[in-house]
Amino acid sequence: MLRQYETRRYQMPQEEIKALVREKRAELVRQQLLIKEQALPVFVLVEGWGASGKGTLIGNLIEDLDPRFFHVKKMNAPTEEAKRHPFLWRYMEVMPAAGQFLFLNSGWLSETADAMADNKIDDVSLEQRLRQIRIFERQLKDNGYLVVKLFLQIPPEEQKQRIEKLMEDKDTKWRVSEKDLLQVKKREKYEKLYDRLLEATNTGYAPWNIVDAADKKQALLQALHILTIQINQAEVNRKALPEILYKDYPLLKMPKLSEVPLNQSLSREEYEVRLKELQKKLKKLHNKIYRKKIPVIIAYEGWDAAGKGGNIKRLASALDPRGFEVYPIASPEPHEKSRHYLWRFYHRLPKSGHIAIFDRTWYGRVMVERIEGFCSENDWKRAYNEINEFEKELTDWGAAVIKFWVHIDKETQLARFTERQNTPEKQWKITDEDWRNREKWDVYETAIDEMIEKTSTENAPWFIIQSNNKYYARLQAIQIVIDEIEKRLALPPRKK
């Protein structure tokens, strides 16, 4: 891609460039108002050679923009915290809210190129990363983001000269990194790396734009040109419905909810003995995953009054409190709502070696949001695949992902609702909304059956917890967590 580009240079008189830059800048300012109005999040990734002028270009791009509605982030080497999360986590963290611009100075392209240059990544991990990047960018676009990607290209001699010049002055010397020097020394090797990465992530929904950065003014004009065109195009594109993908994640055959037997019985005595045993076992495993730095994600969904809270409590009390978090998930807050719907879950991912327990999850998208109309039909239909992709990213990262549907039948729910209503200390647990949801039982059941059918992947299967008998359900959940962690521990250790 890069070599090919070299032949396409053109020259323009300085005066003409100046006039055009002025014009395009004014257009970008008008577009910023529109972006705010239309709640469009715009994400601009600026990659390129060392000393190609990424920082300067960004500085020039934003010059007339309202600083309350854009952010610029320089992505340095990942911190210790970032290293204990999935590769794309730190990029998801900074994704702009609706109506905001984000300019990223370097990103996953250079992070990956550097990892390759240092031989820190094997082919399997590389292919995983590239797939994740493509998925990430497609999901952003499908969820209303505009993704603009620029690569600043300068010829080898030019790069060499610029870096030598920076090195000469003690005021600018500190800005030259080891990587920059390496790029000059091994330019051809790096060219091949970049080419491979650019091609692998050059997609219809997020194409690369190679900017000729040998001349700074021309580079600015090109970047402004690309940016304004793509923003105009985004308005149009947003009206088109994204494609609903059914990707090839191997699905497990799952029963319908109505086929799940709920007649288990278990005495309190037996329960207490077994609970102690299982908790003891789980405690030991927690220590192991902590030391082997394996992340564990446990997702709880279930009917109201199915016993999720009590179930989580018995699970959690077997765990070392320094190594887990429970996240009760309610409706999203404004800053969460104005981002990709998976953002708030990404944000709460455990770091490696820790456990995150979600009390309600990202599956809200295909249940309550679907049924109450909080998202469009296209949104929730697309979500099955998006969620499968999300969970695949987690298990590729090395996580165990365990998903529980805590199941009861309609009569049991009624009995528990009635008991809550009649017991003063439990009344806070029952609301009018619970009764309203109960009226929609059948609509929910259809949605849940579809959800379980379409998202029980081999890597992140659903487990239906039979919770008419709460004792039985609690033992069942802990047993499954133990089994799944043991399976995960039995896998060969992962390379980076």
- Which residue from 224, 159, 264 is spatially nearest to 17, judged by alpha carbons? 224
| 3-state DSSP assignment of residue 315 | helix
Q: Is 321 in the site for a copy of itself (CB under 8 A)?
A: yes
Smallest distance from the beta carbon of 22 to a copy of itself, in angstroms?
15
- DSSP tally for the chain: helices H, then strands E: 22, 10
Say whether residue 73 binds a copy of itself (CB under 8 A). Answer: yes
Instruction: Compose the 338-357 pattern: x for residues touching a copy of itself by CB under 8 A, - for all others.
Output: -------------------x
Question: Rounded to 5, what percent of the chain is helix, strand, coil?
Answer: 55, 10, 30
Asked if 71 touches a copy of itself (CB under 8 A), the answer is yes
Among 64, 199, 270, 419, which residue interacts with a copy of itself (rule: CB under 8 A)? Answer: 64
- Give a three-class secondary structure readout of 276-296: HHHHHHHHHHHHHHHHCCCCE
The closest alpha carbon to 103, from 44, 42, 23, belongs to 44
Per CB under 8 A, 67 contacts a copy of itself: yes
The single residue among 22, 189, 216, 335 that binds a copy of itself, judged by CB under 8 A, is 335
Long-range contacts of 172-176 (CB under 8 A, 24+ apart): 176/50, 176/51
The two tokens of residue 103 are: 């300019």
Residues 87-146 contacting a copy of itself, CB under 8 A: 103, 105
Start-to-end CA span in the chain (Å): 28
Looking at the Cβ atoms of 309 and 398, the one nearer to a copy of itself is 309
Count of residues near a copy of itself by CB under 8 A: 41
* The dihedral formed by the CA atoms of 322, 324, 326 and 332, expressed in degrees to the nearest 10: 100
The least distance separating a copy of itself from the CB of residue 318, rounded to whole angstroms, comes to 10
Please give the distance of CA 360 from its chain centroid, rounded to a whole number. 18
Nearest to a copy of itself of 310, 398 (CB atom):
310
Least Å from the CB of residue 417 to a copy of itself: 19
Which stretch, 217-225, 320-328, 377-385, 406-414, contacts a copy of itself (CB under 8 A)? 320-328
Tokens 């009018």 correspond to what residue? 432
Rounded to a whole number of angstroms, the minimum distance from the CB of residue 51 to a copy of itself is 15
State which residue, 243 or 320, has the beta carbon closest to a copy of itself: 320
Binding characters for a copy of itself, 432-471, by CB under 8 A (x = yes): ----------------------------------------
The nearer residue to a copy of itself, 72 or 371, going by C-beta atoms, is: 72
* Pick 185 or 426: Cβ nearer a copy of itself: 426
408 token code pair: 């009861």
Part of the chain binding a copy of itself (CB under 8 A), chosen from 7-15, 66-74, 196-204, 368-376:
66-74
Which CB, 225 or 337, lies closer to a copy of itself?
A: 337
Residue 207 within binding range of a copy of itself, rule CB under 8 A: no
In the bound state with a copy of itself, the residue whose beta carbon lies nearer, of 94 and 124, is: 94
Write out the binding residues for a copy of itself, residues 44-63 only, by CB under 8 A.
55, 58-59, 62-63
CA angle, 36 then 40 then 43, to 5°: 110
343 to 44, 142, 338: CA distances (angstroms) = 18, 14, 10
The reply to whether 272 sits near a copy of itself by the rule CB under 8 A is no
Determine the Cα–Cα distance for residues 128 and 396; give it in Å rounded to an integer: 8
Q: Is 390 exposed, middle or buried (0-12, 13-18, 19+ CB in 10 A)?
A: buried
243 by Cβ neighbours in 10 Å (0-12 / 13-18 / 19+) ranks as: exposed
268 scored as a contact of a copy of itself (CB under 8 A): no
Residue from 12, 23, 79, 418 touching a copy of itself (CB under 8 A): that is 79
276 binds a copy of itself (CB under 8 A): no
Q: Which of residues 157-196 bind a copy of itself (CB under 8 A)?
A: 174
Separation between Cα atoms, residue 273 and residue 270, nearest integer Å: 5
CA dihedral 139, 249, 394, 149 (to 10 degrees): -30
Q: Which of residues 420-439 bind a copy of itself (CB under 8 A)?
A: 425, 428
- Is 78 a binder of a copy of itself (CB under 8 A)? no
392 close to 139: Cβ distance less than 8 angstroms = no
Q: How far apart are CA 202 and CA 195, in angstroms?
A: 10
340/381 with CB nearer a copy of itself: 340
Q: Which stretch binds a copy of itself (CB under 8 A): 19-27, 76-84, 143-151, 393-401?
A: 76-84
Nearer to a copy of itself, 359 or 386 (CB): 359
Instruction: Give the residue with the Cβ less far from a copy of itself, 10 or 428.
Output: 428
**Cα–Cα distance between 364 and 111 in angstroms, integer?**
33
Return residues touching a copy of itself (CB under 8 A).
Answer: 33, 37, 55, 58-59, 62-64, 66-69, 71-74, 79-81, 103, 105, 174, 291, 309, 312-313, 316-317, 320-322, 325-326, 328, 333-335, 357, 359, 425, 428
